[in-house]
Amino acid sequence: MAQKPSIPKGTRDFSPIEVAKRQYIISVIKKHFERNGFQPIETPSFENSETLMGKYGEEGDRLIFKILNSGDFLEKYNKFLIEIILDILSSHISNLKENGFEFYLGEKYNYFINENLPKIIKERFNKIFGSENKINEIQFSKDLWFYLKNYTDTYSNIEDLEKNEKSVGVSIFGEFYYKLGTKYVGNYISEKALRYDLTVPFARFVVQHQNELEFPFKRYQIQPVWRADRPQKGRFREFYQCDADVVGSTSLWQEVELVQLYDAVFSDLKVEGVTIKINNRKILSGIAEVIGASDKLIDFTVALDKLDKIGEDGVKAEMLAKGISEEALFEVQPLFNFNGSLTEKLNQLRELLASSVEGTKGVDELTFICETVEELGLKSATLNLDVTLARGLNYYTGAIFEVAAPETVKLGSIGGGGRYDDLTGIFGLKNMSGVGISFGLDRIYLVIEELNVFPETVSNVTDVLFLNFGDNEAKYCLKVIRELREAGVNAELYPDKAKMAKQFQFAEKKGIKYAVIVGETEMQQNIFGLKNLISGEQQNVTLQELKQTLLK
Amino acid sequence: MAQKPSIPKGTRDFSPIEVAKRQYIISVIKKHFERNGFQPIETPSFENSETLMGKYGEEGDRLIFKILNSGDFLEKYNKFLIEIILDILSSHISNLKENGFEFYLGEKYNYFINENLPKIIKERFNKIFGSENKINEIQFSKDLWFYLKNYTDTYSNIEDLEKNEKSVGVSIFGEFYYKLGTKYVGNYISEKALRYDLTVPFARFVVQHQNELEFPFKRYQIQPVWRADRPQKGRFREFYQCDADVVGSTSLWQEVELVQLYDAVFSDLKVEGVTIKINNRKILSGIAEVIGASDKLIDFTVALDKLDKIGEDGVKAEMLAKGISEEALFEVQPLFNFNGSLTEKLNQLRELLASSVEGTKGVDELTFICETVEELGLKSATLNLDVTLARGLNYYTGAIFEVAAPETVKLGSIGGGGRYDDLTGIFGLKNMSGVGISFGLDRIYLVIEELNVFPETVSNVTDVLFLNFGDNEAKYCLKVIRELREAGVNAELYPDKAKMAKQFQFAEKKGIKYAVIVGETEMQQNIFGLKNLISGEQQNVTLQELKQTLLK
């Protein structure tokens, strides 16, 4: 009966202190989202499959967790199996009838009457055989077999059977097997899937509720998402996303504000020295245009994105292998050594992309954002133009953001985002530009842990434990405890009259700072024995003093 | 391409105001949980199926959402199909060999070599046929067919086939079909399931982390759960549970504190006049014992639970129908008219159950809890002994709680809980008594809405909108906006330079109270046009005055 308990790979339990730390990060992000005028929404954990499928590419589809149709799944599934058999049988019987074969259900089947057989199946069966004979599910395979056997008996050997294009037996089994083994089953048995990110559900939300919303609509959403990724260090199958997006305006002020928002959040979290990398999809397109390889844009950006990992030679080799010419690489040579101030970089890009209308528009946009941000100033973050930034995703059309953790912490990206000009088009609402950013809660947690900048006050440990010396004392204590709780103290009573040492040990192990001792004497004298479990100091105090100490 | 967007039945989107109101309720509950020394944990949204299955009864199992195995599900599924075929084939071939039949794979199959065929399948196949012939998946059904045909050819007609116990063809198809159509498939394709409640995951958590925890362990957990229930008014397929439980102590002080906790939360939420109904499972058992129908305890409690709905006669009729005797009903007659003060009720029960050891223990427990709660007093709730309270669940062993909404609101139960003596036994950790309560977030929301007691301050609407008169003005405004945000004001800039009327309309529709107007004149004079959009009043103010007004 006893099972060794465990949780699915890639998922986590969170202890009280972990919950407290995560809640702290979330509360800071949330605070700044609201300061910036974003309002929260929440969407269901699972969406209809068609809402999610096809939105994240083939790889993404594979990583979406699908939910089995519930309740009557098996009944539906049985019907499905019978439907397939009937479909196949039906077409073959028609073929055979056309070729002069005769089929009938003999009298001996009449006793296989089963009123429980679903009406739809009976109707289908009757239609195929043109009779009112009834048949039950178990008997059905026998009948099928019977007809197959009759048919195959007309061939003297397997070679004949194989030569015949209408080889019923072979193809029935083959088709049946094939249909079962393919997606057909998958689609039939699952119509819902767990949220893969917050962007697609947001787009769905906007379209579904468009008449209730004011545009531009600024929303934030902090909820878990699920991905059937191979679990590895720092990558989980269930994790939180914290997204802020604006939909319904193309104004570049949004980008400016989002950069400031990143800066405000990380400064508040004491994660100083992050780099906010910015790029623009139009610049990437412009580059591809200039080198005469617009059709190879994805190859180009994917290769360029590897500059840090495989170096200039590696990237060039990959580009050449993908069919980008030597001349093209010569044209974009500055990109392989792209340094200097924001203004210098922008000037280089403007020159490089002078011949590209789209590229120049990208440079214009970036210039506005970077100059404005520089003028307004950032608290602790640095804005950096990174022309290798492509973020894999192909739906960005304007700005692309990524936040790198402070250099002392080797943790890579702790946030990202960008602008997508047609956020809601897939759900039928055209011309809605969206721009947004996301915070990576798990990575940020690790960064704060490594920098050791969680505030000391982040904790949900009880402030004081009242020891239990018996029912009378406990009742007396509970009255005081109630007063303390109302005043804002987290207080608890040890539930059992256990040995004092055990009760003290309990408090210490839990990290509770104070213990209160109330025995008969204390009750009579209207005082409280207050022990500081860190210093070991103990003194008798009045209720007033007790409150004052605990409320500090 | 465009899809009409919708969400699965029984799920909900939450708008900003709904999120704010839900967060308000959760924050109050959370505050009191922590005041009472409960600490938060979080568990994964999905658990291994074996953790959940069989814990909620047959009906519960049916209502658990199962997750399809991810990624290589189809590959696994194909292997599964082949495995079944091979299993069946293998046993029949053995039978036939024993009966003198010979089987071999002819040379003509040698060209069906497919190195991609999974090794395990090839091995199995070779084992069956005792040769090294290789075969591919598509060909496999043909081979199967071939052998079936050879075999069935030895019978002259279907009757012979049916008579023969080893009728390979019939039974292969039958077995294959049967295995596919049953749970076997269900188990194979799903190994994870969405959390159905918070109690079982909590029990799993306690056992899994027992060495890291201090007992008694007081935890709270506020997370969504999922049930494939038929959606109906006020019942959803995804909803939050807010649970507080103590595990590792049998002390009745926990029950006393939990009653007080209910009272504190509902008083704080201004939901006054709730009734906390209490009962004890031992009393129910005692009653069954007294009437000599211990084996009919479930029938008895189920019937008794319907007293409100079908009345005394109805309940009695049901009990008689279930085989409970006339004499028994006479014995428990007081229960059908069970009124008076807590003390009076307890006295009646003590008399009624005098002959039952277990029943008397239940009365003792209830007496302690009720008397202590009465002495400590409740703020706005009423404690009531309700002997019909059974709460369907069969795992409670001591106290049973249920909270009824104030009588003016017809909404039934808004919370419940109880004690279960062997919370973690199912996972191998014996003798761990647990007691806990749960708050029904959705119902509580409806009650507060109906009583109209959501605080006016529950909102996440932006405090002030700065109108946008162009890039220069916008940049000027953003500097001020940043100062305001740092001071704690939720402020936003209208992103586009739109017509003033449009911008004002936007603010009004969103419920933003103030608009700030900064044009060239205001910039020069260092003042701000501040318009109260509720009163319509507009005046010029300094930065200092602006801050003061907005921080009010």
pLDDT in tens, A276-329: 999 999 998 898 888 887 778 778 877 887 887 899 999 999 999 998 899 988
The pLDDT confidence band at residue A158, using thresholds 50, 70 and 90, is: very low
Q: Please state whether beta strands B464-466 and B514-517 pair in parallel, antiparallel, or not at all (unpaired).
A: parallel
Contact A468/B46, CB-based, under 8 Å? no
Contact B478/A256, CB-based, under 8 Å? yes
Facing B3 at nearest CB: one of A15, A63, A427: A427
B38, B142, B198: which to substitute to probe chain A, counting the most A Cβ within 10 Å? B142
Choice between A261 and B392, residue whose per-residue pLDDT is larger: A261
pLDDT at A148: 41
Q: Over the stretch B141-169, which tens digit does the pLDDT of each residue have?
A: 444 444 444 434 443 333 343 343 333 33
pLDDT at B212: 94
Choice between A342 and A306, residue whose per-residue pLDDT is larger: A342
Residue A264 has pLDDT above 90, yes or no: yes
User: Which positions ≥6 away from B28 have C-beta within 8 Å?
Assistant: B265, B268, B269
The pLDDT confidence band at residue A127, using thresholds 50, 70 and 90, is: low
Give the count of beta carbons closer than 10 Å to the beta carbon of residue A537: 9
Contact B35/A6, CB-based, under 8 Å? no
pLDDT at B157: 36
> Got the DSSP string for A276-326?
EEEEEHHHHHHHHHHTT-GGGHHHHHHHHTTHHHHHHHHHHHHHHHTT--H
Residue A526 has pLDDT above 90, yes or no: yes
Tell me: do A279 and A267 sit in the same domain: no
Average pLDDT over residues B503-528: 96
Q: Evaluate whether residue A60 is within a structural domain.
A: yes
Choice between A521 and B76, residue whose per-residue pLDDT is larger: A521
Tell me: do B341 and B203 sit in the same domain: no
pTM of the model: 0.83
Q: Evaluate whether residue A394 is within a structural domain.
A: yes
Residue A161 has pLDDT above 50, yes or no: no
Classify the C-alpha dihedral A516-A517-A520-A524 as positive or negative.
Answer: negative
pLDDT at B138: 33
Asked if A529 and A516 count as a contact pair (C-beta separation under 8 A), the reply is yes
- B220 annotated ligand binder: no
Classify the C-alpha dihedral A523-A525-A526-A530 as positive or negative.
Answer: negative
Contact B145/A205, CB-based, under 8 Å? no
Residue B52 has pLDDT above 50, yes or no: yes
Contact A205/B13, CB-based, under 8 Å? yes
Residue B134 has pLDDT above 70, yes or no: no
Residue A472 has pLDDT above 60, yes or no: yes
Count CA atoms within 13 Å of residue A10 on its CB side.
18
CA distance A493 to A515: 10
pLDDT at A131: 42
Tell me: do A166 and A205 sit in the same domain: no
Q: Evaluate whether residue A415 is within a structural domain.
A: no
Cβ-Cβ contacts under 8 Å, B34 against chain A: 460, 490
Tell me: do B250 and B283 sit in the same domain: no
Average pLDDT over residues B64-86: 60
pLDDT at B461: 87
pLDDT at B101: 45
pLDDT at A83: 54
Contact A496/B257, CB-based, under 8 Å? no
CA distance B185 to B187: 5
Amino acid at A528: F
Choice between A411 and A385, residue whose per-residue pLDDT is larger: A385
pLDDT at B506: 96
pLDDT at A189: 66
Q: Evaluate whether residue A419 is within a structural domain.
A: no
pLDDT at B105: 36
SS3 B118: coil
Tell me: do B131 and B110 sit in the same domain: yes
Facing A181 at nearest CB: one of B44, B77, B152: B77
Average pLDDT over residues A2-27: 92
Identify which of A43-57, A321-335, B43-57, B192-206 has the greatest average pLDDT: B192-206
pLDDT at A231: 82
Tell me: do B514 and B545 sit in the same domain: yes
Q: Evaluate whether residue A412 is within a structural domain.
A: no
The pLDDT confidence band at residue B92, using thresholds 50, 70 and 90, is: very low
Residue B19 has pLDDT above 50, yes or no: yes
Tokens of A102: 């005769």
Residue A461 has pLDDT above 50, yes or no: yes
Residue A381: which of A231, A486, A478, A278 has the closest Cα? A278
pLDDT at A78: 46
Least confident range from A236-250, B67-81, B468-482, B538-552: namely B67-81
Average pLDDT over residues A187-195: 79
Least confident range from A107-116, A493-502, B287-296: namely A107-116
Residue A249 has pLDDT above 80, yes or no: yes
Choice between B215 and A75, residue whose per-residue pLDDT is larger: B215
Tell me: do B373 and B386 sit in the same domain: yes
Choice between B218 and A233, residue whose per-residue pLDDT is larger: B218
pLDDT at A487: 94
Contact A224/B47, CB-based, under 8 Å? no
Q: What is the mean pLDDT of chain B?
A: 82
How many beta-carbon contacts under 8 Å exist across A and B? 336
Contact A218/B492, CB-based, under 8 Å? yes
Contact A5/B207, CB-based, under 8 Å? yes
The pLDDT confidence band at residue B117, using thresholds 50, 70 and 90, is: very low
- B395 annotated ligand binder: yes
CA distance A35 to A264: 10
pLDDT at B271: 97
Average pLDDT over residues B55-79: 71
Asked if B529 and B540 count as a contact pair (C-beta separation under 8 A), the reply is yes
Residue B294 has pLDDT above 90, yes or no: no
Which of A155, A189, A223 is where one domain is finished? A189
Q: Which residues of A are annotated as a binding site for L-histidine?
A: 197-199, 227, 241, 245, 391, 395-396
pLDDT at B3: 53
Residue with tokens 């900064």: B518
Q: What is the mean pLDDT of chain A?
A: 82
Q: Evaluate whether residue B392 is within a structural domain.
A: yes
Average pLDDT over residues A422-428: 89
Give the count of beta carbons closer than 10 Å to the beta carbon of residue B69: 18
Cβ-Cβ contacts under 8 Å, B5 against chain A: 51, 204, 207-208, 427-428
Give the CATH number for residue A243. Answer: 3.30.930.10
CA distance B211 to B221: 20
Facing A490 at nearest CB: one of B8, B37, B174: B37
Tell me: do A37 and A97 sit in the same domain: no
Residue B108 has pLDDT above 80, yes or no: no
Facing A3 at nearest CB: one of B219, B427, B465: B427
Which of B158, B189, B220 is where one domain is finished? B189
Average pLDDT over residues B461-483: 96
ipTM of the complex: 0.82
Cβ-Cβ contacts under 8 Å, B42 against chain A: 13-14, 19
Cβ-Cβ contacts under 8 Å, B23 against chain A: 40
Cβ burial, residue B164 (10 Å; 0-12/13-18/19+): middle
Identify which of A245-259, A327-341, B339-353 has the greatest average pLDDT: A245-259
CA distances to A454, A459, A493, A495, B414 from B38, rounded to whole Å, are 22, 12, 12, 13, 20
Tell me: do A57 and A132 sit in the same domain: no
Residue B352 has pLDDT above 60, yes or no: yes
Q: Which residue of A has its CA nearest to B58?
A: A71
pLDDT at A411: 84
Asked if A271 and A447 count as a contact pair (C-beta separation under 8 A), the reply is yes
Tell me: do A54 and A198 sit in the same domain: yes
Tell me: do A344 and A212 sit in the same domain: no
Q: Over the stretch A486-506, which tens digit does the pLDDT of each residue have?
A: 999 999 999 999 999 999 999
pLDDT at A293: 73
Q: Evaluate whether residue A315 is within a structural domain.
A: yes
SS3 content of chain A, % helix, strand, coil (to 5): 50, 15, 35
B38, B67, B372: which to substitute to probe chain A, counting the most A Cβ within 10 Å? B67
Tell me: do B16 and B122 sit in the same domain: no
Contact A461/B39, CB-based, under 8 Å? yes
Least confident range from A384-398, A414-428, B89-103, B399-413: namely B89-103
Q: Evaluate whether residue B250 is within a structural domain.
A: yes
Choice between B434 and B298, residue whose per-residue pLDDT is larger: B434
The pLDDT confidence band at residue B98, using thresholds 50, 70 and 90, is: low
SS3 B283: helix
The pLDDT confidence band at residue A392, using thresholds 50, 70 and 90, is: low
pLDDT at A530: 97
Rounded to the nearest angstrom, the minimum Cα separation between A440 and chain B is 18
Tokens of A302: 């994917």
Q: Over the stretch A17-48, which tens digit does the pLDDT of each residue have?
A: 999 999 999 999 999 999 999 999 999 999 99
Asked if B434 and B419 count as a contact pair (C-beta separation under 8 A), the reply is yes
pLDDT at B232: 82
The pLDDT confidence band at residue A126, using thresholds 50, 70 and 90, is: low
User: Which positions ≥6 away from A251 have C-beta within 8 Å?
Assistant: A216, B495, B496
Residue A128 has pLDDT above 90, yes or no: no
The pLDDT confidence band at residue B65, using thresholds 50, 70 and 90, is: very high
Cβ-Cβ contacts under 8 Å, B477 against chain A: none
Give the residue numbers spanning the domain of B79: 73-189
Task: Give the count of domains, chain A.
Answer: 4
